[in-house]
Amino acid sequence: MALRLSSMINFPTHNVSSKPHTLRSPRLCMASTLHSISKETENGKKPYSPPKEVHLQVTHSLPPQKVEIFKSLEGWAEDNILVHLKPVEKCWQPQDFLPEPESEGFYDQVRELRERAKEIPDDYFVALVGDMITEEALPTYQTMLNTLDGVRDETGASPTSWGIWTRAWTAEENRHGDLLNKYLYLSGRVDMKQVEKTIQYLIGSGMDPKTENNPYLGFIYTSFQERATFISHGNTARQAKEHGDLKLAQICGTIAADEKRHETAYTKIVEKLFEIDPNGTVMAFADMMKKKISMPAHLMYDGKDDNLFDHFAAVTQKLEVYTAKDYADIMEFLVGRWKIEKLSGLSSEGHRAQDYVCKLPQRIRKLEERAQGRTKQASMVPFSWIFGREIKI
């Protein structure tokens, strides 16, 4: 899922310190991307994707005593978070939705899948490929969770609730990219080699969520993202149904249901943080929103289009798979979910953060309406994923 928010809207900023919850100085360093230090190859192309952004990176912004909160929540997480995981034996697997390679009817099943896919327009496939690529960069997201102080999987097989959650969450998520990838391969509608190159570039580039090794920021980010993916997979499900492909609708809908369950778990963690530390949590929420939620695949590249993410996001916006309105809706949902308006006993800085996040959805909507009001020049953009065919954005 993705959104070209940064180029569509300039978010209002507010006098909320970007590091309000720190007692010690966070470490700062310049983000050095692989690309900026990469050497040009013989044909003049860089071996890695081009630089997208370089900014000040902040690390370890949560003070040690707050890191302790997460250690003390081990038992709570076992009783309240791990229950949102599904036992493997009860989980769906990609094979449940795909032609059976061992069966006599395999070729017929593939033919039927391809017949159904023929009715679906190119722009839908661009959105679905982008969603699949986003899912396929899962190593990056597991890495991101394991950057967070106090909850990271210290050994790779840590018996802590946080370690168990992260591994099992990753294992559940792994089915999403797997299923979409196999479906797209069988559909015959996309240039698989270009898609695969994009995945390799993206995993090589990573992501920059600006979560500062800070689990407050990290879990606010994941709460937002799980809901965003729930919305976007839900929309691709609805649209597949409209195009008459009920099996694809079922695929996307099933993935959306997983995202919803994950959203429930992550929003519960943040709800608990609001209970323990309302001031620190509301300031973290404001900080995260002020920095904007960058989409997980924001560094995507296919070896050809330097603005691939923006172009993909323009397609999802136009198709209404994921839009600026959805961003505002998610924001509003989280404000309600965490009962931000009802928080009391906050410091003056906490009050400012509360005010900022409560007003933000409305502000985003106004800016979006204004952006919509401006007449935009439609342009045709080629996507390598669909053999260089052009999409109107």
Residues contributing to the annotated binding site for Fe cation: 135, 173, 176, 226, 259, 262
Which of 155-163, 176-184, 212-220, 358-366 is the region at the interface with Fe ion (rule: CB under 5 A)? 176-184
> Cβ of residue 135: shortest distance to Fe ion, in angstroms?
5
Which of 168-176, 239-247, 320-328, 381-389 is the region at the interface with Fe ion (rule: CB under 5 A)? 168-176
* CA distance from start to end of the chain: 17
Which of 122-130, 207-215, 221-229, 347-355 is the region at the interface with Fe ion (rule: CB under 5 A)? 221-229
Q: Is 380 helix (H, G, I), strand (E, B) or coil?
A: strand
CA distance 178 to 189: 17
Q: Is 136 in the site for Fe ion (CB under 5 A)?
A: no
Read off the amino acid at residue 259: E
Nearer CB in complex with Fe ion: 136/310: 136
Q: Is 175 in the site for Fe ion (CB under 5 A)?
A: no
Q: Which is the catalytic residue, given 35, 176, 233, 298?
A: 176
Nearer CB in complex with Fe ion: 131/302: 131
> CB–CB of 339/356 below 8 Å?
no
Which residues ranging from 10 to 69 are in contact with Fe ion (CB under 5 A)? none
> Cβ of residue 88: shortest distance to Fe ion, in angstroms?
17
Nearer CB in complex with Fe ion: 169/285: 169
Q: Is 290 in the site for Fe ion (CB under 5 A)?
A: no
The structure tokens 């906490």 sit at 350
Nearest CA to 179 out of 255, 88, 118 is that of 255
CA distance 49 to 87: 38
Nearer CB in complex with Fe ion: 176/272: 176
Annotate 271-320 with three-state secondary structure. HHHHHHCHHHHHHHHHHHHHHCCCCCCCCCCCCCCCCHHHHHHHHHHHHC
Read off the amino acid at residue 108: D
Q: Which is the catalytic residue, given 92, 243, 329, 349?
A: 92
Q: Is position 92 annotated as part of the catalytic site?
A: yes
Q: Which of 259, 287, 305, 326 binds Fe ion (CB under 5 A)?
A: 259
CA distance 28 to 212: 10
Concatenated DSSP letters for 337-372? Answer: HTTGGG--S--HHHHHHHHHHHHHHHHHHHHHHHHH
Q: Is the torsion defined by CA of 155, 136, 243, 328 positive or negative?
A: positive
Q: Is position 233 annotated as part of the catalytic site?
A: no
- Please identify the residue of the shown chain whose CB is closest to the bound Fe ion: 176
Q: Is position 262 annotated as part of the catalytic site?
A: yes
Q: Is 227 in the site for Fe ion (CB under 5 A)?
A: no
Which of 182-190, 220-228, 299-307, 385-393 is the region at the interface with Fe ion (rule: CB under 5 A)? 220-228
Q: Is 131 in the site for Fe ion (CB under 5 A)?
A: no
Nearer CB in complex with Fe ion: 152/227: 227
Q: Which of 4, 66, 176, 210 binds Fe ion (CB under 5 A)?
A: 176
Nearer CB in complex with Fe ion: 257/371: 257
> Cβ of residue 297: shortest distance to Fe ion, in angstroms?
12
- Report angle CA 266, 165, 183 to the nearest 5 degrees: 85
CA distance 182 to 55: 37
CA atoms within 13 A on the CB side of 349: 15
Nearest CA to 214 out of 160, 284, 270 is that of 284
Q: Which is the catalytic residue, given 21, 262, 298, 311?
A: 262
Q: What are the residue numbers of the active site?
A: 92, 135, 173, 176, 226, 229, 258-259, 262
The site for Fe ion (CB under 5 A) is made up of 135, 173, 176, 226, 229, 259, 262
